[in-house]
C-alpha cells in the first residue's frame, strides 16, 4: 500500500494511525494477515515476522494487532485504496488497474523492477502461496495529452517484456484478458499456443462476431485505440461540495415534511 494512498486514508478514515498523514511519499506498507489453529502457533508466526522486520531497512517497525476492530479497520482501508487513488488522480486522467502474475521465486524481482518503467510502479497487493503469485497495480494516465499517450504505450511494452520475457510470468492473474492485454496474445500464450487458439477460433467463429478482439486479436495497437475520454466538469463533484449538496438536500427534505 503506497504512502500517498495511506495519507489520503488517514484523512478519510477515523482511528487510523496519525503518522500516516506525514509519510514519505516514496514509502509503502505491507498488510499481512496471519491465522493459526491456536494462540501458540500464532505467536510463532508473529515472532518470525518481527525477526525479519528487525533486519529490514523499514522506517517503521511492524505493528501486530489482534483486536477484531483493528483488523477490520486495516482491511477497510485496504479495500478503499482504489477509490482513494481515484480521488487523488489529476482531473481529466484515467485510473487503470491490472493484475499480472509471477512465479513465487520471482515475485520480489518482478514487483520491484517496474519502478524503472516509463509510466508507473507496480506494487504487490495480494499473494497466494504454492501457486503463481499475483500482483495488482494501479496507474494514472492522461490520454488527452499526446505525451501521456506515448508514456502509456511505452509502459505497456516494458510491462509485457518484464512479466513474460524476463520473469516467465503471466499477463493476467485472476481477471479477464479484456482489450488492454488482448494486444499481446502471442507473448502471453507463446507463438505455438497462439496459433492453435486462432485455428480453434476460426472453426468455432469463422466470421469473428463473438467477442471481437477479446483475448484473440490481430491488432497490435488495440490497447491504444478507441480510448475513453474523461471530460472535465465543474468542481461541484468534489467531496466537500458533495457533502454540502447532501446537507442541503437533507434540509430541504425536512422542510418539505
Q: Which has more pLDDT, 256 or 201?
A: 201
What number is the average pLDDT over the span 180-201?
Answer: 78
Among 24, 148, 19, 20, smallest CA distance to 81 is for 20
Over 80: is that where the pLDDT of 207 sits?
Answer: yes
- The whole-number pLDDT of residue 237 equals 56
Confidence of residue 155 (pLDDT cuts 50, 70, 90): confident
Confidence of residue 205 (pLDDT cuts 50, 70, 90): very high
Fold of 89-249: Alpha-Beta Plaits (3.30.70)
Q: Which has more pLDDT, 216 or 248?
A: 216
Using CA atoms, how far apart are residues 177 and 142, in angstroms rounded to an integer?
22
Instruction: State pTM to two decimals.
Output: 0.65
% the chain with pLDDT above 90 = 2
| Per-residue CA distances from 171 to 13, 129, 149, 214 (Å) | 34, 18, 21, 14
Rg (CA), the chain: 22
Return the bridge partners of 138, or none. 97
Q: Is 56 helix (H, G, I), strand (E, B) or coil?
A: coil
Over 60: is that where the pLDDT of 117 sits?
Answer: no
Chain segment 54-106, per-residue pLDDT in tens: 877 666 667 777 788 888 888 888 888 888 877 778 888 888 888 888 888 88
% the chain with pLDDT above 70 = 76
- The whole-number pLDDT of residue 159 equals 87
Q: Is 171 helix (H, G, I), strand (E, B) or coil?
A: coil
Q: What is the mean pLDDT of the chain?
A: 75
Break the chain into its structural domains and give their ranges: 1-87, 89-249
What number is the average pLDDT over the span 180-209?
Answer: 81
Over 60: is that where the pLDDT of 119 sits?
Answer: no
Chain segment 7-26, per-residue pLDDT in tens: 888 888 888 888 888 888 88
Chain segment 218-253, per-residue pLDDT in tens: 888 888 888 877 777 766 555 544 444 444 444 444
| Per-residue CA distances from 197 to 190, 191, 223 (Å) | 11, 10, 20
Amino acid at each position: 500500500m503506497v504512502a500517498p494512498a495511506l495519507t489520503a486514508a488517514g484523512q478519510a478514515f477515523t482511528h487510523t494511525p496519525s503518522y500516516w498523514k506525514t509519510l514519505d511519499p516514496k514509502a509503502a506498507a505491507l498488510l499481512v494477515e496471519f491465522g493459526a489453529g491456536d494462540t501458540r502457533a500464532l505467536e510463532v508466526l508473529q515472532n518470525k515476522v518481527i525477526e525479519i522486520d528487525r533486519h529490514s531497512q523499514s522506517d517503521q517497525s511492524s505493528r501486530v494487532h489482534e483486536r477484531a476492530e483493528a483488523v477490520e479497520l486495516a482491511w477497510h482501508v485496504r479495500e478503499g485504496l482504489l477509490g482513494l487513488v481515484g480521488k487523488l488522480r489529476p482531473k481529466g486522467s484515467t485510473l487503470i488497474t491490472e493484475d499480472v502474475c509471477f512465479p513465487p521465486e520471482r515475485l520480489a524481482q518482478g514487483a520491484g523492477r517496474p519502478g524503472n518503467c516509463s509510466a508507473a510502479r507496480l506494487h504487490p497487493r495480494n499473494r497466494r502461496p504454492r501457486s503463481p503469485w499475483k500482483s495488482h497495480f494501479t496507474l494514472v494516465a492522461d490520454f488527452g495529452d499526446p505525451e501521456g499517450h506515448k508514456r502509456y504505450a511505452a509502459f505497456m511494452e516494458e510491462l509485457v517484456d518484464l512479466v513474460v520475457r524476463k520473469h516467465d510470468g503471466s499477463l493476467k492473474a485472476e481477471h479477464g484478458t479484456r482489450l488492454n492485454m488482448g494486444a499481446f496474445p502471442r507473448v502471453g500464450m507463446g507463438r505455438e499456443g497462439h496459433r492453435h487458439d486462432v485455428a480453434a477460433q476460426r472453426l468455432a467463429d469463422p466470421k469473428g462476431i463473438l467477442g471481437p478482439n477479446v483475448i484473440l486479436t490481430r491488432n497490435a495497437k488495440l490497447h491504444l485505440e478507441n480510448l475513453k475520454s474523461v471530460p472535465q466538469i465543474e468542481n461541484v463533484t468534489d467531496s466537500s461540495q458533495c457533502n454540502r449538496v447532501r446537507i442541503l438536500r437533507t434540509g430541504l427534505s425536512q422542510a418539505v415534511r
